[in-house]
Structure 1
Amino acid sequence: MKDPLGPVFTDATALLAAASEPIISVGDVVTYHLIEAGHTPTVALVDERTERDSVDEAIARRVANEPFDRETTVTNPAATVTEALIRALSAATAESGSTLIEVDGEEDLAALPAVMLAPVGASIVYGQPGEGMVLGAVDEDLKADVRETLSQMEGDTGRFWDLIAAVE
């Protein structure tokens, strides 16, 4: 996303101090930094890629070794948000404990459905290339901003909204 959905942090400890639960992380490097700062995200979405390249093996290993309560794998091609991704996010946000969602494909757009499916008060954390970690505090204003962003995107946005409504 070109414009971040919230403030950008370069320090995971500072981000965690400003965040509220549940925390949903999108991206391998962001998830790694949260874990290294001593916090397992409630939901973490990873694809073993960062900025279109393979993520460093140490990062992938650290995330894979984190004791999440549940792990699931979904297929989500680049530049899309699939029904499988939306359903996995919905299930993960509804359950107690932590969930690792391993994405076969790309998770870059997952912050958008995460905002729509997360409860008000949740935190969405994702990477802003070359800048740091974005902290999106979920409230009705952020949900409205995401609706506006999605209204400007190409593709079957009607299907996206149908899926969001079906799982809420």
Structure 2
Amino acid sequence: MLRLPEDLRAAFKEPFGPLYTDAERLLADAGTPVVAVGDVVTYHLREAGHPPDVAVVDGQTKREAVSEEIRRALSDPESRRDVANPAGALTDELAACLREALLADGPVTVVVDGEEDLAVLPAVVAAPPGASVVYGQPDEGMVLVTVTDETKAEMRSLLARMDGDSEAFVAALET
């Protein structure tokens, strides 16, 4: 397991890609597969008619339960995987689940018991070049991260600064 040290929290304040307020415009710029991290982002992509290939949700937004409308809209995934992942951490279980979900035939929803906020990092590392990882920037919109060698290197660098065995964590994502 990796844990986010206090001195690394500031690295997550600025978005890792362009910010969108319109899901259809974001989807026009997105590659495939699309990985959504967050309940509200997943909801907006589904409402735009494009369920993400992988969705990582935890039933929360801004540390509060999502609205009943969003909860209902996300309650019927085609394929669901449950995983534990505490706040401020990334578990080996989440890493393995993301890797498997990206290899699955058809959409997969990863339901996190805990918190999914940091899942953007392993999602970018695990996804193939050209993929898109979308996550919410609270009160601003959706961030689109295009998976490239550069964004993978940036996420690996952030993972390396976390407490724990980041080399083993990254190796598990890339196998």
Which category describes the TM-score, using the shorter chain as reference length?
over 0.9
Alignment counterpart, residue 52 of structure 1, candidates 50, 58, 63: 63
CA distance in 1 between counterparts of 2:97 and 2:23 reads 25
Matched residue, 1:34? 45
CA distance in 1 between counterparts of 2:21 and 2:166 reads 32
| TM-score, scaled relative to structure 1 | 0.93
Q: C-alpha deviations, 1:113-168, integer Å up to 9, x for none?
A: 00000000100000011211000000001111112323344x11xx2330331342
Matched residue, 2:22? 11
Residue ranges of structure 2 left out of the alignment (5+ in a row): 1-11
| Length, aligned pairs only | 163
Instruction: Find runs of 4+ consecutive structure 1 residues off by over 6 angstroms.
Output: none
Alpha-carbon offset, residue 111 of structure 1: 0.4
Q: Are the equivalent residues in 2 in contact too, given 1:81–1:160 (CA < 8 A)?
A: no
Does the alignment pair 1:23 with 2:34? yes
Note closer, same or farther for the CA distance 1:77–1:87 as it changes in structure 2 (3 Å cut).
Answer: same
| TM-score, scaled relative to structure 2 | 0.89
Matched residue, 2:172? 166
Does the alignment pair 1:89 with 2:92? no
**Local SS of the residue matching 1:133:** strand
Does the alignment pair 1:124 with 2:133? yes
Alignment counterpart, residue 107 of structure 1, candidates 116, 130, 143: 116
Considering only aligned residues, what root-mean-square deviation do their CA atoms show, in Å?
Answer: 1.2
Whichever residue aligns with residue 55 of structure 2, its letter is A
Residue ranges of structure 1 left out of the alignment (5+ in a row): none
Whichever residue aligns with residue 163 of structure 1, its letter is F
Alignment counterpart, residue 133 of structure 1, candidates 119, 133, 142: 142
CA distance in 2 between counterparts of 1:112 and 1:164 reads 10
Does the alignment pair 1:77 with 2:83? no
CA distance in 1 between counterparts of 2:94 and 2:157 reads 21
